[in-house]
Amino acid sequence: MSKPVILAEKPSQAKAYASAFTIKDRTKTHIEINPCEIFKDGAIITWAIGHLIELQSPSDYDEKYKRWSLSNLPIVPPNFIYKVSADKKSHYAEVAKLLKATNTIIIGTDIDREGEAIARLIINHAKADNKIIKRLWINSLEEDEIRKGFANLKDGKDTYNLFIEAQSRQMADWIIGMNFSPLYTLLLQKKGFEGSLSVGRVQTPTVYLIYQRQKEIENFVPKKFYEIEGNFIAANGSYKGKAKIKSDKKEEVQELLLKNSIGEKNEGIVKSVSKKEKRTKSPKLHALSTLQATANKNWRYSPADVLKLVQGLYEKKLVSYPRTDTQVITDSEFTYLLNNVTSLQKLAKTSFEVASTEPNKRYVDGKNVAEHYAIIPTKNIPSESTINGLTEQERNLYFEILHTTLAMFHSDYVYEETKILTGVNELEFETTGNTEKSLGWKELFKNTSQSADEDKKEDTQALPVLKNNERVLAVVKLKEGVTTSPKPYTEGQLIGMMKTCGKSVEDTEDMEILKEVEGLGTEATRSNIIEAIKRQEYIDVKKNIVHVTKKGEILCESVEGTLLASPSMTAKWELYLKKIGEGKASQQQFVKQTTSFVEKMIQDVPGKLSVESISTAIKESKEENHLCKCPVCQKGHIVEKKNNFSCNESCNFSLPKTLLKKKISVTAIKSLCEKNKTAKIKGFESKSGKKFDAILELDEQKKIKFSFN
């Protein structure tokens, strides 16, 4: 086949590529495009469905690994072997057939290490790696950008190391997960733990950081402090100020008042009034993490939902590539935005004079755009009907990106800062207030909070007009305050916590490494990690506030003091992976070091799990998870598991978590086990789709039946 085969990551991406050309034929597994200037003989576009190829599981190497056993650890295969995902074999067969038949393969998956791995693993497994391989490298799915990208393909060799980086990460994560998950689970089960633990290179230190914050809050002891506050009444109005003292010793503050002969009511004098114009520049453009943080703050969207939504906007060709950690663009993007600024203003239903037509390095810096630039609107200005066709969530995100981009062209937010120094006898009081002079870019954010990096509270005390040496009535009081505990993380703050966890590291070298790799995970993976630790029930999110569960506490108590709890270890691995991607480090050496680490931990961990707090956490977890006595054996307790509620003894009794598309509550399960029936439950759905209400009962054989009485 002389036609090149383009391998996209998913069907929607393939469809977007095809829209830039004329289509000759379309099947379930590929799209054929007609000959054109770029593809003289036409081309075939096919696609993966995420990861078609995955690493073999331990039991694929040896049957003995089907059951977890401490005697089988460590599990490290001499050579890692890949297999086709079980549910994707038929699709893979068709893709492989196309790859084998062509002379030229164009990798068109996402432009990051995971995208590279998805494509290379398929090509290698199909034994098509001897073909000519080219790489499409674009940040936008607009038709002209797609055509431009295909006309300027990279050589496949240029991005091959990204695959080696991703493969190294896969191998290391496999070694960590397949060894530490059974190691900790089996050792803790000996102590009475009833569940199983999943231990991961990135997810475990992430849970531990949340746990640390939770412990800080639990162990926080509020302390009183004392200040001196003055309420001043002048000819043109009143204002407040504070003396330069804050002490936890009440006597010290009282002594200062006595020393300056200050009673409750005094005469004060305005010693100085200084005014200074201040300016705040518009927020930086959005990276994925800042968009996730802002969307969570404004609308409580989870980071995973934001990624999914903005990916959808990208596939609709409305915004640029979303999995970016960059907050700047190149001169090329700035030019097209400047040329379209009037249309973008019209879309945002706003109008303002462009403050500058010259690129500002705060937003435009091509030297700092390695692979992806910031998330911005594309040249494809949507019509009103297109906007109306978006979901409310998509509209919110699109306009957040649009407003943040337009803010780059707007004037600064301008305010006047006024500082007043008021003297009462020999004691001085400071007062600060701001007067808004020009909203500037802030007018674009009237209905939402500003972007995450601009979220700073300003003292907005309204101040009267005052003159130097003006005499005022001063009502002075000793004010008692109490220190407040740290606040728990919101779900949106977890992304920032993962990026900046270096702040919690004392070692200077480790801190620098964490800064270089930007903390835990990558821009593309952090939301998936958060979803994983939610799914594994290590954390719980209620009303957007994150809590560590008892299971999460057991995990954290168990890994405390080890490198598994340390963001520094993960960061050092990411740094090494980055060097592999740059061709400056060895995959073989990385896997070898990971294996050595695992072997040492297998020796050390058993001795570290004798801590009293772990036994306490396991006991509390069991008590919390015991919903009620088993109605069959009367010995065991009903516990909630991943897919059902079941007896924790050898008895096989279990109840479903979902029945006819209706989730069964813990309350209903307790009632069913203790009273053999529930209250009426609304919302069951029959196979025909008909909704109905019913009471659940247990019959004599302890099987569920429906009752309509």
Can you read off the two tokens belonging to residue 144? 């002209």
Q: What is the pLDDT of residues 472-529, one digit of tens each?
A: 999 999 999 999 999 999 999 999 898 877 465 555 555 565 566 567 888 888 999 9
Q: What is the pLDDT of residues 381-402, one digit of tens each?
A: 999 999 999 999 999 999 999 9
Q: How confident is the model at residue 183 (pLDDT cuts 50, 70, 90)?
A: very high
Residue 234 or 371, more confident:
234
Q: How confident is the model at residue 369 (pLDDT cuts 50, 70, 90)?
A: confident
Contact predicate 134/106, CB 8 Å: yes
pLDDT of amino acid 455 = 45
Contact predicate 527/289, CB 8 Å: no
Mean pLDDT within 184-201: 90
Question: In degrees rounded to 5, what are phi and psi of residue 226?
Answer: -130, 140
The pTM of the full predicted model, rounded to 2 decimals, is 0.84
pLDDT of amino acid 157 = 96
- b/e per residue, 513-546, with b = 16+ CB within 10 A? bbeebbbbbbbbbbbebbebbbebebbebeebeb
Contact predicate 113/581, CB 8 Å: yes
Give the DSSP letter string of 274-328.
EEEEEEEPPPPPBPHHHHHHHHHHHH---HHHHHHHHHHHHHTTSB--SS-----
pLDDT of amino acid 115 = 93
Mean pLDDT within 109-135: 96
Q: How confident is the model at residue 452 (pLDDT cuts 50, 70, 90)?
A: very low
d(CA 411, CA 355) in angstroms, rounded, equals: 5
pLDDT of amino acid 265 = 86
Q: Would you call 608 exposed, middle or buried from its count of C-beta atoms within 10 A (0-12, 13-18, 19+)?
A: middle
Q: What is the pLDDT of residues 66-118, one digit of tens each?
A: 999 999 999 999 999 999 999 999 999 999 999 999 999 999 999 889 999 99
d(CA 586, CA 164) in angstroms, rounded, equals: 9
pLDDT of amino acid 264 = 77
Give the DSSP letter string of 173-228.
HHHHHHHHHHHHHHHHHTTT--S-----TTHHHHHHHHHHHHHHHHT----EEEEE
pLDDT of amino acid 503 = 60
Which uninterrupted H or E stretch holds 505?
Answer: none
Q: How confident is the model at residue 50 (pLDDT cuts 50, 70, 90)?
A: confident
Q: What is the pLDDT of residues 678-707, one digit of tens each?
A: 999 999 999 888 999 999 999 988 999 999
Of residues 1, 180, 30, 190, the one with CA closest to residue 103:
1
pLDDT of amino acid 460 = 65
Can you read off the two tokens belonging to residue 431? 């007062």
d(CA 647, CA 558) in angstroms, rounded, equals: 26
In this model, does residue 291 exceed pLDDT 60? yes
Whether residue 74 is preceded by a cis peptide bond, meaning omega within 30 degrees of 0, is yes
d(CA 61, CA 41) in angstroms, rounded, equals: 44
Of residues 28, 46, 36, 43, the one with CA closest to residue 109:
46
Residue 499 or 226, more confident:
226
How large a percentage of the chain has pLDDT more than 90?
Answer: 77
pLDDT of amino acid 322 = 94
Residue whose structure tokens are 């453009």: 285
In this model, does residue 217 exceed pLDDT 50? yes
Q: How confident is the model at residue 639 (pLDDT cuts 50, 70, 90)?
A: confident
What three-state secondary structure class fits 331? helix
Cβ-proximal residues to 141 (8 Å cutoff; 6+ apart), any chain: 13, 16, 17, 314, 315, 317, 378
